Amino acid sequence: MFNNQLRWGLGLIGAIALTFTAAGCAGTPAGTGAPAESPAQTQPAGDLTTIGFVAVGPEGAWRKANEQNVQDTFTKEAGFDLKYAPAANLDQKSQIDAFTAFVDEGVDLILLSATEATGWEDSLQRAQEAEIPVILVDRGISPDDTSLYATRLAPNNVTVAKSIAEWLVANYPDGGEYITLEGPAGVGVVDERNQGFDEVISGAPQWKKVGAQTANWKVDEGKSVTETFLKSNPNIKFVFAQNDEMGLGASEAVTEAGKVVGADGVLIATIDGTKNAIQALADGKLSFVAEYNPLFGDQLLDAVKKALAGEKQEPYIEVISTTFDSPEAAKAALPDRKF
């Protein structure tokens, strides 16, 4: 315990000293997630703050942008030794093993993007006993025992999904049949997105859900699942795709079924706001895109410093996101998109 506190103290003094140095040169440009400029002198390797990043790994464009942003933020120049541990094939056991190894190694802090919402109690309790703070990145846990982690940073899945339902009901009041393409079962954000969408659509009975199925965040599965639903429900008017890749697959299925994407055919809304989706919206291949901003490295850096300093934080820190509701909005946004 004492060793941990002493280690923390030395690492913390080093990190704070470096931060002030970096801030003196050029702080982290707000909202970009870009790392602070290299300080005049970097910290000796031995004094770097070690962070274990229990990550999801290859999953799609959103994940690639988010995990790269984290790695671009916690650099050695910024005073950190970030140990990146992506899951093996999205397998939770590989994440728990990496988490355990980081606790045993005595890292200063753990970042966790959970492939599954459940099954984290023992790991989080072990980290707490070792006095290693844990910050949840993007993905939540269930049950959500906020005493087991310092804070969670993510865009608000409930709000993001509500924005889609509010757009649909406000612009297409006549309603019709719809389907939902969900992320993988057991992933926390899937339930949060269903909750947000259902909170609004339940007040619009003219929109009738005729099906929901996971398409595992993938383009090909988004296409095949939509094809199947279109065969059994040829009058579908709307697809709620819980991420861009599944929505892009649905768009292919709609077109290949001889229908148009839009009010005269099938409306398609997606979540993430990656470049491919914004381009598809600009091209009329999607109808609405709700951004789920993956670039929050600057907010995460602030939360990490506070956690290392033992400062109490809110259990959830919201990452601000926006929405795109037309080809014109998409075309205007494309030049500045960063992911």
| Shortest Å distance, C-beta 263 to ligand AHR | 25
Task: Considering the complex, state which of residue 60 and residue 79 has its C-beta at the smaller distance from ligand AHR.
Answer: 60
Sheet of 49-55, strand order? 80-86, 49-55, 109-112, 134-137, 151-154, 316-318
Residue 9 CA to residue 31 CA, distance in Å, equals 29
Site for ligand AHR in 121-150 (CB under 6 A): 138-139
Task: State which amino acid sits at residue 54.
Answer: V
321 interacts with ligand AHR by CB under 6 A? no
**Where are the strands (E) in the chain, listed by range?**
49-55, 80-86, 109-112, 134-137, 151-154, 176-182, 207-214, 236-241, 267-272, 288-291, 316-318, 323-324
Task: Considering the complex, state which of residue 59 and residue 81 has its C-beta at the smaller distance from ligand AHR.
Answer: 59
Residue 54 CA to residue 139 CA, distance in Å, equals 12
**What count of other Cβ atoms lies within 10 Å of the Cβ of residue 16?**
15
| Shortest Å distance, C-beta 59 to ligand AHR | 4
**Phi and psi at residue 179, in whole multiples of 5°?**
-130, 160
Q: Which stretch binds ligand AHR (CB under 6 A): 54-62, 103-111, 173-181, 322-330?
A: 54-62
271 interacts with ligand AHR by CB under 6 A? yes
Partnered with residue 112 across adjacent β-strands are: 54, 136
Site for ligand AHR in 273-292 (CB under 6 A): 292
| Shortest Å distance, C-beta 207 to ligand AHR | 22
According to CB under 6 A, which one of 62, 80, 120, 178 is a site residue for ligand AHR? Answer: 62
| Shortest Å distance, C-beta 290 to ligand AHR | 10
First-to-last C-alpha distance (Å) of the chain = 42
**Phi and psi at residue 178, in whole multiples of 5°?**
-140, 160
Q: Which stretch binds ligand AHR (CB under 6 A): 6-14, 60-68, 257-265, 275-283?
A: 60-68
Helices (H), 26-77: 61-73
x/- binding map, residues 227-246, to ligand AHR, per CB under 6 A? ----------------x---
Task: Considering the complex, state which of residue 102 and residue 217 has its C-beta at the smaller distance from ligand AHR.
Answer: 217
Q: Which stretch binds ligand AHR (CB under 6 A): 16-24, 55-63, 96-104, 117-125?
A: 55-63
52 interacts with ligand AHR by CB under 6 A? no
| Shortest Å distance, C-beta 225 to ligand AHR | 16
Residue by residue, DSSP assigns 251-302 as HHHHHHTT--BSTTSBEEEEEE--HHHHHHHHTTS-SEEEE-----HHHHHH
Q: Which residues form the interface with ligand AHR (CB under 6 A)?
A: 59-60, 62-63, 138-139, 189, 217, 243, 271-272, 292
